[in-house]
Structure 1
Amino acid sequence: MKLTLAKSFALFTLTFGISLSFVLLHHQTPLPIKPDPMARTFILWLHGLGDSGPANEPIKNLFTTPVFANTKWSFPSAPNNPVTCNYGSVMPSWFDIHELPMTADSPQDEAGVLKAVQNVHAMIDREIAAGTNPNNVFICGFSQGGALTLASILLYPKTLGGGAVFSGWVPFNSSILQRVSEDAKKTPILWSHGIADRTVLFEAGQAGPPFLEKAGISCEFKAYPGLGHSLNNEEFRNLESWIRSRVQSSS
């Protein structure tokens, strides 16, 4: 499918991404609490196509309730790779994307996804080896990072605290479900998607819960009317509550 120059430019800057134009959440300043290394939480945030980890670091400032006082955040950057949907242009990308807008039936780079999953698992393994309870490990991602979040959660051999997918999609076919362990099926998933998304169509997000149900995996799906391919305050408030309710205490 040929794209106009304007559309090409729009895709190239697809998720430069979040743009961080959202308004910061307003919370009361929490009282200082004594850090407890046995109760620490690890949140790994995976950015979208063309974006970077450092550009997303302000997100952690939105989570100011006391339960996050001992949270370790990680914002890795994707390696530079050629991306098919952008005419082979090299940019930060976890794996290849063949076409945009993304639909429920778009072709997927499954080999690239599985390679990226290995790198995410290595990050998780290092954190657990450092002493973090797997139940306090949360993987979150936007757009391409959301698709990678889903793949990483499903293929990790242990039960984790949770996976949060924002404006993402299912990056492989149903045969992958045969590789999902019983422990991985216990990891809760939060899926958020804007109904007005024109980059990763809402139908691509809607296909997620039925896909997961085939493997008996629970998924909480939240639709946001009027929201395009971006993040908003309501999504972050819901994510904060969702993680807070799942953090395990040191006891």
Structure 2
Amino acid sequence: MNFTLLAKPILVLILSCTITICFIFLQSNPNPNINPKSSSLVNNTNYTMAARSFILWLHGLGDSGPANEPIKSLFTSPQFKNTKWSFPSAPSSPVTCNYGHVMPSWFDLLEIPVTAHSPRDESSVLKAVQKVHSMIDKELAAGTDPSNVFVCGFSQGGALTLASVLLYPKTLGGGAIFSGWVPLNSSFIERMTPEAKKTPILWSHGIVDKTVLFEAGQAGPPFLEQAGMSCEFKAYPGLGHSISNEELRYLESWIKPRMKSSS
């Protein structure tokens, strides 16, 4: 047998098989230096990752944080996928307008209904503000950017939201007040930092509110204008002292464009 004649076709066969195996391997893994399971090219698809954000919700007099947690289920937009919600409960304490009875309250409330000229217990408000600031500080220490922090509140919680945002030294993503009032006098404007004055404010109020009168809500924008701040005020005809789904849907649309994406 002539082995010289056989060597050439065998060599061609081996070379052909080698090329085929290499082609299959490259097709399955075009870049052998990249692990497809850990590749940033796989994870970075065509969307912008939502940055960490924080929404703090402050309830009204006599209420509790857990009772308000269903609110977050209405915020279904993708922007809220990486949002941390917090629904703290106010401590129980005697409330003057409730004849000294003990109930969950952020600060003492001297009279109901609340009007544009109701007396204020400002020292009590400032103690509550310190607690809210501690909650915000804790979240910032966890890595949330101040521009992605939103403080929202209803009734007494709305009044506390306003005071907390105005007196916080940094610019926050926004403050949203529902059926609230101004719990501080105009002298506190001097204590506001230039950064705090840049925080946007949304104010919503029912026109037929009999607990916190509509006039108390209407006093908000002029107060903020005096402080050099902008405020979007929305009046809801037929709405009493409660928060509606319409208000919450608008809150979602108001927060979304103010949320910052991760870089």
Which secondary structure state, in structure 1, belongs to the residue aligned with residue 258 of structure 2?
coil
Q: Percent identity?
A: 77
Amino acid at match of 1:170: V
SS at match of 1:39: coil
Secondary structure of 2:240's aligned partner:
coil
Residue 47 (structure 2) pairs with residue 42 (structure 1): no
Q: Distance in 1 between matches of 2:56 and 2:179?
A: 17
Kindly name which structure, 1 or 2, has the bigger radius of gyration based on alpha carbons. 2
TM-superposition CA deviations, 1:211-233 (whole Å, max 9, x none): 01111010000000000000111
Match of residue 248, structure 2, among 231, 236, 246: 236
**Structural mapping, 1:51-62, within 5 Å:** 51-62=63-74
1:194 maps onto 2:225 in alignment? no
Pairing 1:80–2:81 present: no
The 5 A counterparts of 1:144-159 are 144-159=156-171
Question: How far apart are 1:35 and its partner, in Å?
Answer: 10
Is structure 2 residue 104 aligned with structure 1 residue 124? no
Q: Normalising to structure 2: TM-score of the pair?
A: 0.81
Unaligned runs of 5+ in 2: 1-45
CA deviations 1:26-68 (Å, max 9, x no partner) are xxxxxxx9995x8111000000000000000000100011000
Q: CA deviation at 1:163?
A: 0.1
Q: Distance in 2 between matches of 1:68 and 1:39?
A: 9
Q: Hey, what does 2:225 align to over in structure 1?
A: 213
Distance 1:45 1:186 in 2: 21
Distance 1:192 1:100 in 2: 19
Aligned residues: 218
Partner of 2:104: 92
What is the alpha-carbon distance in structure 1 between the residues aligned to residue 48 and residue 201 of structure 2? 27
Q: Within 2, Cα distance between the matches of 1:131 and 1:76?
A: 20
- Retained in 1: the 8 A contact 2:162–2:177? yes
Which structure shows the bigger proportion of residues in helix conformation? 2
**Unpaired runs of at least 5, structure 1:** 1-32
Q: Which ranges of 4 or more aligned residues in structure 1 deviate by more than 4 Å?
A: 33-36
Whole-angstrom CA distance in 1 between matches of 2:48 and 2:239 = 37
Q: What's the TM-score, normalizing by structure 1? A: 0.85
